Amino acid sequence: MPNDKTTTAPDERRVGIFGWGIVAPKSPNIDAFARNLQSTESWLQAFDGFGPDNFLVGMPSFDFTAYEPWVVQRFKPNRFSQLQSKMGLPVQYVIGCFIQALEQNQGLEEELRRLGTRSHIYVGTGLGDFGTQYEESLSLYRATRHWTRFWAQPDRNATRAAWDDGGRLLDASERHGAPALEPDNIPPSPHGASYEVRDEMEDAWWGFWAQHSPELRQYLTEQKEIESVKVEGNVESGKIAAMKEKRRKMRRLQEKWGAPEPPWQSVSANLVWNIDNIPAAQVSMLGQITGPTVALGAACSTFGVCLKEGLDAIRRGDCTAAVIGATDPPPHPLTVSAFYSARVISADGQLSKPLTELRGTHIGGGAAVWILGDLEHFQNLGMKPLGMEPLAVGVTSDADHIITPSKEGPMEAMRQAFEGAGLSASDMKSWDLHATATPGDFNEVEMVRDLMPEDVLVTARKGRFGHGMAAGGGWELTAQYLGYESGRLAPTLLSENELNEQIAGVHEHFVYDTPRDAPQGAVGKLSMGVGGINACVVSRPLKD
């Protein structure tokens, strides 16, 4: 294991951000993200995921081929095509963000690798790869319908041949020797059913008869014999020979029966290659990072929780660097439908801004990745920290409601963060809200004022890029850090005359649609996740 040159005591270690990358709506990379923050336009677009609809979404701007030269330079020629064909978009987003982050400081890639197990990875997702799950579920459903319909036909099912389409047992003279079955639970025939219920009735009818097919049982017996082929002799060559023999025999079996593809062969292995730990795992493999690789899921608080894990690991002395981040799939009919049913997204085709009419948020997709490092260690290597200095993250659970935040849980997370940073609420000069353009915005502003001075400058940015379930907190923190790096907080989409009247009665210092000088001092950012998981990040401007 390489020696860590850091001399500071672990509990006194300061942490810096030495690389970051972004994939967001209208922003394929960190540079575009920084430029676009200066505009006063929303990055949202019409969804049309159900055909025409009334939803706006944050669709990521992304081209994975932009990262092909980086991959080709380091790996075998087929590595990029494998990533392109096997990895879903949430994984590809993280790969892109990670490569962007490595490019922020020369030598960063080599140092992460040199550190060996002293480089950790904490990359999570809020939703997982819904796109891949949906497509493979459809493939399975369609293949299952073809399969059961095939084996439910009377000419391929002796049991079914003994019954008519209405579920009536034929007379012996009509059965032609087929075995009789007299169950009392035959589902209703779909013959003549209305289109509203026909699919469900067909599934039940075909599934029932396939279950009672002697021919299918014979097919499965023959298939079982094929699958029992063993690997013999040399393991590697024997494995290949066994696979070829199985494929050859399975082709013959299919030809013999004229059967469609079995449903268990209809689902791509890509479903396995895109489970929730794979974004983190791909960072490990592409970066050749050998430290612990962990996937964390904390809904809308995922990025903050990953940041806490990285900060704590460096401060404990467990590692010298940590890659942290979060990723979400692009908006999908599944997620839009679910959030609409949860009554938290706007559906009138108009932009819904936080702190205004409180009509609901907009779903967004993309990723954010940061590379954290022991400040002294990386500065000694000549590397420059980015943005601000993260001081502490407070994490709590409401233990109350699955989607409606409490006040007590987030406020306790805030208090934890203040204490961990060695600061008080009165030290806060700027604050970024979770603010989802729902009634919870009012409670969140009240929380800020319950703890902080009346001149704290507040930002709320989800009207710009939508609500990335896990990545949104990373976008908002990066926007906050970029603002303090430049000394100017980027404008939001909120106009002063749009501010909700009741919210305006609680607090009046917000960043509106013009840039503001960044007030010098400590800043905070709160995220509140589905399930009642809260993460509060406290940071300060970089100093020597």
**The CATH number of the domain where 331 resides is what?**
3.40.47.10
Q: What average pLDDT does this structure show over 381-402?
A: 97
3-state secondary structure 392-439: EEEEEECCCCCCCCCCHHHHHHHHHHHHHHCCCHHHEEEEECCCCCCC
Per the domain annotation, does 136 fall within a domain? no
Phi, psi dihedral angles at 252 (to 5 degrees) = -65, -40
User: Is 40 found in the same domain as 68?
Assistant: yes
Total structural domains within the chain: 2
Q: What average pLDDT does this structure show over 71-91?
A: 97
Per the domain annotation, does 345 fall within a domain? yes
Q: What average pLDDT does this structure show over 363-386?
A: 98
Per the domain annotation, does 5 fall within a domain? no
User: Is 312 found in the same domain as 398?
Assistant: yes
pLDDT for the residue numbered 1? 47
pLDDT for the residue numbered 543? 78
Cα separation of 512 and 493, whole Å? 7
Question: What residue spans of 212-358 are helical by DSSP H?
Answer: 214-227, 235-257, 270-273, 278-287, 302-316, 333-341
User: Is 526 found in the same domain as 424?
Assistant: yes
**Which among 247, 265, 283 is the end of a domain?**
265
The single residue listed with the structure tokens 């409180």 is 358
pLDDT beyond 70 at 180? no
Cβ(326)–Cβ(471) under 8 Å? yes
Per the domain annotation, does 1 fall within a domain? no
pLDDT for the residue numbered 229? 85
Per the domain annotation, does 257 fall within a domain? yes
pTM of the model: 0.94
Domain span including residue 333: 10-129+274-541
**Closest to 372 (Cα-Cα) out of 276, 474, 523, 296:** 474
pLDDT beyond 80 at 494? yes
User: Is 283 found in the same domain as 245?
Assistant: no
Q: What is the pLDDT confidence band of residue 174, given thresholds at 50, 70 and 90?
A: very low
Over the stretch 302-355, which tens digit does the pLDDT of each residue have?
999 999 999 999 999 999 999 999 999 999 999 999 999 999 999 999 999 999
Q: What average pLDDT does this structure show over 59-69?
A: 98
Cβ(167)–Cβ(185) under 8 Å? no
User: Is 98 found in the same domain as 63?
Assistant: yes
Q: What average pLDDT does this structure show over 427-434?
A: 97
Per the domain annotation, does 327 fall within a domain? yes
Structure-token pair, residue 450: 């319950």
Sign of the torsion angle spanned by Cα atoms 482, 486, 487, 492: negative
Over the stretch 227-276, which tens digit does the pLDDT of each residue have?
998 888 888 888 888 889 999 999 999 999 999 999 999 999 999 999 99
Q: What average pLDDT does this structure show over 281-291?
A: 98
Over the stretch 96-127, which tens digit does the pLDDT of each residue have?
999 999 999 999 999 999 999 999 999 999 99
Q: What is the pLDDT confidence band of residue 144, given thresholds at 50, 70 and 90?
A: very high
User: Is 380 found in the same domain as 526?
Assistant: yes
Q: What average pLDDT does this structure show over 278-302?
A: 97
Q: What is the pLDDT confidence band of residue 8, given thresholds at 50, 70 and 90?
A: low
Q: How many CB atoms lie within 10 A of CB 415?
A: 16
**Which among 233, 265, 297 is the end of a domain?**
265
pLDDT beyond 60 at 176? no
User: Is 164 found in the same domain as 122?
Assistant: no
Cβ(89)–Cβ(329) under 8 Å? yes
Per the domain annotation, does 2 fall within a domain? no
User: Is 501 found in the same domain as 352?
Assistant: yes
User: Is 300 found in the same domain as 248?
Assistant: no
Cβ(492)–Cβ(513) under 8 Å? yes
User: Is 298 found in the same domain as 259?
Assistant: no
User: Is 154 found in the same domain as 112?
Assistant: no
Cα separation of 492 and 354, whole Å? 10
pLDDT-above-70 percentage for the chain: 94
Per the domain annotation, does 3 fall within a domain? no
**Closest to 66 (Cα-Cα) out of 86, 82, 84, 78:** 84
Sign of the torsion angle spanned by Cα atoms 188, 191, 196, 200: positive
User: Is 336 found in the same domain as 258?
Assistant: no
**Which among 215, 232, 265 is the end of a domain?**
265
pLDDT for the residue numbered 186? 84
**Closest to 272 (Cα-Cα) out of 136, 451, 457:** 136
Q: What is the pLDDT confidence band of residue 173, given thresholds at 50, 70 and 90?
A: very low
Cβ(71)–Cβ(286) under 8 Å? yes
